[in-house]
Homo-oligomer: A and B are copies of this chain.
C-alpha cells in the first residue's frame, strides 16, 4: 500500500508539509533552497505533482503550493519513518544525535512497512525523535505539536526543553555540549531588551548559558507548574 513514489517526490512532499504546517502555502524559492534545487526545477515539479491523478498537491501559479489529503498522508508516512529511524539509530546503534538526520533522510525512502513496524516495536513505539520531534502514529495522526518557544519565556519562568531543530549537525553538537537536550529543566534568569538574549540556568549545570533569539526561536519548551 504505497511505494509508487520516487525518493524525489517523497522529499518534496516532506518539505512542503513542513512549510505549510503554519497554514500558509509553501513558496517556490524557499522550497528550492531547502531541497538544494533551483526555483525553475521546483516550479516544474510542483506543477507535475498537481497534475497527477490523484493530485498530491494543490498549486496555484505564483501563489504557492499546499498538500492534498493524499499528499499529506504520504508526507506523514515518510516523516514517521524518518523520525523512527532517527530514534533507532540513536537508541539501538549508538549514533550521536547530530549524525542521524542525514542518514534517516536516505533510509526513509527505502525501508519497508515491515522494517518500520519492527523498529517501532523494538523501540517500544516511541512518541518523539531524539530531537524531540513528535512521531506520527501508525494511523498517520500527528500528535499535538509543541508551541511554546524558548525565546518567548520571561525571566523567572521554569520550563522543560522539549524539541530542538534536527538538521544542523553543528548546532546539535553545540546544544549537546551546553546540555540543551529534551527533558532538561531550566530557569530563565534574564532577558535582554536589546537583543533578546536569554540567560538560562540549566538543571545540574553550574555555568549559566546565554542564547540569542536566532536559536531560542527554534527550541520548544513546556512551561513548568
Residues of A at the B interface (CB closer than 8 Å) are 89, 92-95, 99, 103, 106-107, 109-112, 114-115, 118-119, 122
Contacts and interface: CB of A to CB of B under 8 A. Distances in A.
B111 A93 contact: no
A118 B93 contact: yes
Contact of A92 (B89, B92, B109): B92
| Interface core residue of A103, A110, A122 (most chain B CB under 10 Å) | A110
Contacts of A89: 115
List of 10 A-B pairs having minimum Cβ-Cβ separation, nearest first: A106-B110, A93-B118, A110-B110, A103-B112, A107-B110, A94-B118, A103-B115, A93-B122, A93-B119, A99-B114
A49 to B, nearest CB: 23
5 contacts: A93-B115, A95-B114, A106-B111, A107-B110, A109-B110
A122 B95 CA distance: 12
